[in-house]
Chains A and B, each alone.
Chain A
């Protein structure tokens, strides 16, 4: 597609439920990143994929968070047993190759609210 697509755009879930967030990167972009932005804060790195493997998952906050990427395309971020502190905008970005950040194209994000 023309840009990075994320779905859903908004998600309200009850505490304790699992959620899945989806990212469709730009076709041909081998690098994919997940960030999140909590209220009043900057973007926080979660995980980086090169192809289908994740060389850096150091930003995942706990073992309730996991992500996968298949076919060097779609990625899914899963949060199990959601907590209120998980409420944030989750942003996905892709780039043609790993770089210094100027090649990142971000999606519009998924706003997750845990009630």
Chain B
């Protein structure tokens, strides 16, 4: 079963506008959620996280929102820049375990 889902395989946004990437989850045992960014031929790099007891975390141009009742989180990037073009993975950390459960990823393309 897919515990973390990213239903949009791709997203195209104009430079300077807001990018919104979405993620849904089914497992209530996640205590943290994380977003990773991946460029081709490189490993994923950590971007931002949020504790399950929070509803928002902001870091510069990146903000993650968590809606626990809807089991939904989103990553907002504003303003979007060409260097933001990458695949973004949402992941949940299972409480008490050393493992992450990843979504399938969303390919973000920022157009000039």
Contacts and interface: CB of A to CB of B under 8 A. Distances in A.
B102 A100 contact: no
Nearest to A50: B98
B31 A109 contact: no
Contact of A31 (B89, B91, B98): B98
Interface residues of A, number: 28
B32 interface: yes
Nearest to B91: A101
A107 B6 CA distance: 23
Determine the interface band of chain B, counting residues with CB < 8 A from chain A.
Answer: 20 to 34
Given A43-B100, A104-B46, A109-B43, 10 more contacts: A31-B98, A33-B99, A41-B104, A44-B102, A48-B98, A56-B97, A101-B32, A101-B46, A101-B49, A108-B42
A98 interface: yes
Q: Is the interface of B mostly helix, strand, loop or mixed?
A: strand
Nearest to B32: A100
A109 B38 CA distance: 12
A65 interface: no
A91 interface: yes
B44 A106 contact: yes
29 contacts: A35-B102, A40-B104, A41-B104, A42-B4, A42-B102, A42-B105, A43-B44, A44-B102, A45-B99, A48-B98, A48-B99, A50-B98, A55-B98, A56-B97, A56-B99, A91-B43, A91-B44, A98-B98, A100-B32, A100-B34, A101-B91, A101-B93, A101-B100, A102-B32, A102-B46, A103-B46, A104-B46, A104-B100, A109-B43
Interface string B68-112: 000000000000000000000101010001111111110000000
A44 B43 CA distance: 14
Interface string B40-74: 01111110010000000000000000000000000
A77 interface: no
A22 B70 CA distance: 41
Interface string A34-60: 010000111111001010000110010
B14 to A, nearest CB: 26
